[in-house]
Structure 1
Amino acid sequence: MTQQPYTVAFALFRYFPYGGLQRDFLRVAELCVQAGYRVEVLTTEWEGDRPDWLKVNIERVTPRTNHAAMVAFGRKALQFKDEVKAKVLVVFNRLPGGDLYFAADDCFAMRVKEKNALTRMLPRYRTYLNLERQLFSTAGHARILFLNNSQRDDYLGEYDLDQRRYRVLPPGVRNDRRPGDNAAFLRAEVRKEFGVAEGEHLLLFLGSDFRRKGLGRALLAMAHLPDSIESVKLLVVGEDDSAPMQADINKLNLSGKVIFAGARDDVPALLQGADLLIHPAFHEAAGMVLVESLVAGLPILTTAACGYASYVLDSGAGQVVASPFRQEALDQALADMLMGDRAAYRRSALEYAERVDLFGMHEQVLAEIEVLLGS
C-alpha cells in the first residue's frame, strides 16, 4: 500500500497579492508542494489569483472587530488542522496552538509599553497581547522563526524563550531582483514611462500602508531639500489610498512631483529605474524592500525602526536614520545622498549581496517544516 504524503496546514488571516508576508507564505507553500507534501490553506479572505496547485479554504469569521476575529480565526485554525489531518500547522499570525510561527509581526508586548495606561486596557490591546503571550508561553510548543536579530532581541526582552524553540531566518529575496544584462534598458523604460528627464532624481517609495511606512516623512524630507537640489520626483508604488496624502502634497508645494502608481508587478524594473529608495518607516519587523533594493544595487535611505536596516548599515548601501527619529536627520540624509556618490553605494550593495545569504529564507522554512514532519 502506497503511503499518503504528509499534509501541511497553513493559516493566515488574510491574503492579498502585494503583502510581504503573503509572498513569503506563498513561496513556502509552493516549496512544500514541490517537495511532495499535501498543502491545505485556511484564510478569511483571498484577494487576487489563486494558483491551481494550491488548495485554499475560505473561512469567514463573524466578530466585527479585528481582534475578536483573530481569536475566532485561531480556534478555526486548530479545528482545521484536525479536519485536514495535517501533521504540522504553520501560522503567519499570532495564533496559539500552531506548530511553527513565522514571526512577521513586531513584538506586541514591547510596542504596547509605548501606549498610555488607558490605551493598554482597551480590548484590542489586551486581546493581541494575550494571543502573543500564549504563543510565546514557556508551556507552549510552537517553534518560532524570527526574521532578523533585532526582532529576536525584542521578543527575548519580553519572553523567556528557550533557544531550542527558535531560529533566525535569512531574508528571502527573489533572484530576479539582481540587475541583469537588461538593467540599463529597464532603467530607461521606467524613466520614460514616468516622465523623468535627463538629470532628474527619481526617489522610490515602495510598499503598502503608506502612513506606517513613512510616506509623510518622505514628503517632508523632499519638501525640505535645499534649493541647490532641483528636479526631484517621488514615485509611490503600493496598495493604499493616496487621497489622505494629497492635502500634504499641496501644502508642501509638491504638486506634480509625486506620482502614485498603485500596486505593480514590475518591481525589478522599478528598482533599476530609481536613483534612491526612501523608506522612513515608523516600525517594521523586517522590511523586505530594503534587501530587495540592496540586491538590485539601489541606494537606500531608511530608519533604524526596520529590522532589515542592519543590512543597510553592514553593507554600506545607504544611510539609516537613528532612533528616536528626528525629521531633521532624515532631511539631511536625503540631501547628502542626492549630492553624494550614489555609485559608491551601488557598488557596496552589489558586493555585499554576493557574499551574504539574502536569499535562503523559504528553503530554511521548508527545512523546519520537514523536521517537524519527521518528529
Structure 2
Amino acid sequence: MTRIVQIVPTIRPGSGVAGVAYALEREFAAAGAIVERFTLAEAGKRPGRSTGRTAIGNHLEGARNVIWFSTVGTRRARRFLAQRPDAVSICHNDVMAGDVYVNHGLLQAAMRARGHYAWRMVRNPVHLFTAVRDRIRYRGRTHRAIVALTSAEADLLVATYGRVRAPIHVIPNGVDIERFRPPDADERSRARSALGIDDERTVAVFVGHEYERKGLPLAIEGLRRATGITLVVVGGTPDMIRRAESEARELGVADRVRFVGTHDDPVPYLWAADALVLPSAYEANALVLLEALACGLPVVATRVGFAPDLVRDGENGHLVDRDAASVGHRLDELDRIDRTALRGAARATAEQYSWPEVARRYLDLVESLRAERGVRR
C-alpha cells in the first residue's frame, strides 16, 4: 500500500498552496493511497494572536510561521517521517525535509520582477532568510526530487541556483473541472446582476492580491484603448484598492472598474466575465489561468509562468507584451469579435489538466522513488 505524507503549512479547499495540497490529498486517497498530513497544526504551532486583526499583524504572523516551520517544523517533520519509513513525503513549503519538494515559486524571481531587487531583499529579513534556506535546499541533499510547475520554472531554478542537485520533474498544477465550468445562462445572468452589470456588457476579470506584480495597473490603463470593456478586480487589501481606484480616476476609467475585494470563491466572478486579464511580471504557475479557462474564458496574459504552456494565441486567448497598449489592444479585440470558438477552446485546454490526471503524474513519481528506495535497501 502506498503511503504519502504531505508537508505544508495548511491544507484546505481553495486556491494557493493549501488548495493544491488539498486537491492532491483527495486524489491520492481516491487512488487508494494512505495519505497523512504534516502541517503547522501537526507540528504543534499555535496561531498567533495577531492573525485576522490587521494586515500588518497578519504579515508578521506569516513571517513568524515561515521561520518557525523552516526551523522547529523541520526538526519535528524529520521525527514524524522517521516513524513512517515506508512513506514517500511531498513537501510544499518551508520545511527542509521530504523526498519531493514542490517549487511553488522563486522568491528571488518574484522580487526581481517587482523592481528594486536589492532593496526589497535587504529591507525584509525573512526574504534573506528564505533565500539562504532555499539555496541550501536546492544545492544540497535535502530532497530526492524537485517538482517544477512549468518548464520555464525548471529553467529558472537552474538559472537562479546554478546547479540543482536533485533531479527536476515538471508537473503542472491542476484544476477542478467540475467546480470550475462554464455557467449556464441563468448562472451567468445572476452573477452579472450581483455586480450590477447588464448581460450585453463585455467584462474582463482580474484576480490577484499583488497588483503591481500581476499587472493590474497595466490592465486599468489598457481600458483607455478598450473602451467597451468593464474590468472587475477580485482581491487586494483596502489600501491597495484605494490606490488603484485613485489611478483609475486619474486615467479617466474609474466608471469602468469594479473592485469587489477578496473572496474565497472566485467562481461567480469568472462566470460574470468574458475574459481573464493577467499581465504578470512573474508567475510560478497562476492557478487562476486554469480556473478561467475551465470556466470557458479566453485569457489575456503575459509570457510568464504557465501561460506559454496553456495559451495558444488567437485560439483560447492571447499572449501579450507587458505594456498597457498591448493589453488594451487585445481586450478591445475580444470585445469586438464572436468569442464562441475561443470559449470552447479554453474549456478544452483546461480539461487536459484535471486533478486526477495531475495526481497520476505525482503517483508515478512516488512509485519511482519507492522503487529506488527498495533497490538501495
* 1:151 alignment partner in structure 2: 153
1:1-375 map, 5 Å = 8-13=4-9, 18-34=14-30, 35-43=32-40, 56-60=42-46, 70-84=66-80, 85-86=83-84, 87-106=87-106, 108=108, 115=116, 123-158=125-160, 159-161=162-164, 165-177=167-179, 179=181, 183-222=184-223, 224-225=224-225, 229-230=227-228, 232-238=229-235, 240-241=237-238, 242-264=241-263, 267-313=266-312, 316-322=315-321, 325-353=322-350, 356-359=352-355, 360-372=357-369, 375=373
> Following TM superposition, by how much is the alpha carbon of 1:298 offset from its aligned partner in structure 2, in angstroms?
0.8
> Following TM superposition, by how much is the alpha carbon of 1:137 offset from its aligned partner in structure 2, in angstroms?
1.1
Check the 8 A contact 2:88/2:99 in 1, yes or no. yes
What are the Cα deviations for residues 232-271 of structure 1, in whole angstroms up to 9, with x where unaligned? 3222223633333232233233344332333445544433
> Following TM superposition, by how much is the alpha carbon of 1:370 offset from its aligned partner in structure 2, in angstroms?
5.0
| Percentage of pairs with the same residue | 21
Give the direction of change, closer, same or farther, for the CA distance of 1:41–1:156 in structure 2 (3 Å limit).
same
Q: Which amino acid aligns with 2:252?
A: N
Check the 8 A contact 1:284/1:306 in 2, yes or no. yes
Give the direction of change, closer, same or farther, for the CA distance of 1:201–1:144 in structure 2 (3 Å limit).
same
TM-score (norm 2): 0.78
Distance 2:268 2:122 in 1: 46
> Following TM superposition, by how much is the alpha carbon of 1:69 offset from its aligned partner in structure 2, in angstroms?
5.2
SS at match of 2:39: strand
Q: Which amino acid aligns with 1:335?
A: D
**Pairwise CA RMSD:** 3.4
Check the 8 A contact 1:233/1:257 in 2, yes or no. yes
What are the Cα deviations for residues 329-371 of structure 1, in whole angstroms up to 9, with x where unaligned? 22222222222342332233234445x4454223433443455
Give the direction of change, closer, same or farther, for the CA distance of 1:40–1:117 in structure 2 (3 Å limit).
closer
Distance 1:109 1:245 in 2: 24
Distance 1:76 1:225 in 2: 52
How many residues align? The count is 351
What are the Cα deviations for residues 57-85 of structure 1, in whole angstroms up to 9, with x where unaligned? 55159996966753432122222224433
Distance 1:192 1:68 in 2: 42
Which has the higher mean CA deviation after the structures are superposed, 242-251 or 6-15? 6-15
Gaps of 5+ in 2: 49-58
Gaps of 5+ in 1: 45-55
Distance 2:34 2:203 in 1: 45
> Following TM superposition, by how much is the alpha carbon of 1:175 offset from its aligned partner in structure 2, in angstroms?
1.7
> Following TM superposition, by how much is the alpha carbon of 1:285 offset from its aligned partner in structure 2, in angstroms?
0.6
Check the 8 A contact 2:11/2:18 in 1, yes or no. yes
Check the 8 A contact 1:95/1:131 in 2, yes or no. no
Give the direction of change, closer, same or farther, for the CA distance of 1:36–1:334 in structure 2 (3 Å limit).
closer
Distance 2:268 2:152 in 1: 30
Q: Which amino acid aligns with 1:161?
A: V
* 1:47 alignment partner in structure 2: none
> Following TM superposition, by how much is the alpha carbon of 1:303 offset from its aligned partner in structure 2, in angstroms?
1.2
Give the direction of change, closer, same or farther, for the CA distance of 1:32–1:240 in structure 2 (3 Å limit).
farther
Q: Which amino acid aligns with 1:59?
A: K
Distance 1:109 1:350 in 2: 30
TM-score (norm 1): 0.79
Distance 1:161 1:287 in 2: 23
Structure with greater helix share of residues? 2
> Following TM superposition, by how much is the alpha carbon of 1:274 offset from its aligned partner in structure 2, in angstroms?
1.0
> Following TM superposition, by how much is the alpha carbon of 1:200 offset from its aligned partner in structure 2, in angstroms?
1.2
Distance 1:249 1:373 in 2: 55
Check the 8 A contact 1:93/1:105 in 2, yes or no. no
Check the 8 A contact 1:61/1:72 in 2, yes or no. no
Give the direction of change, closer, same or farther, for the CA distance of 1:220–1:58 in structure 2 (3 Å limit).
farther
Check the 8 A contact 1:67/1:128 in 2, yes or no. no
Distance 2:14 2:212 in 1: 16
Check the 8 A contact 2:307/2:319 in 1, yes or no. no
What are the Cα deviations for residues 306-351 of structure 1, in whole angstroms up to 9, with x where unaligned? 33343113682111123xx222222222222222342332233234
SS at match of 1:313: coil
> Following TM superposition, by how much is the alpha carbon of 1:7 offset from its aligned partner in structure 2, in angstroms?
6.4
Give the direction of change, closer, same or farther, for the CA distance of 1:301–1:58 in structure 2 (3 Å limit).
farther
Give the direction of change, closer, same or farther, for the CA distance of 1:315–1:201 in structure 2 (3 Å limit).
closer
Which has the higher mean CA deviation after the structures are superposed, 254-263 or 299-308? 254-263
Which has the higher mean CA deviation after the structures are superposed, 59-68 or 192-201? 59-68
Check the 8 A contact 1:97/1:135 in 2, yes or no. no
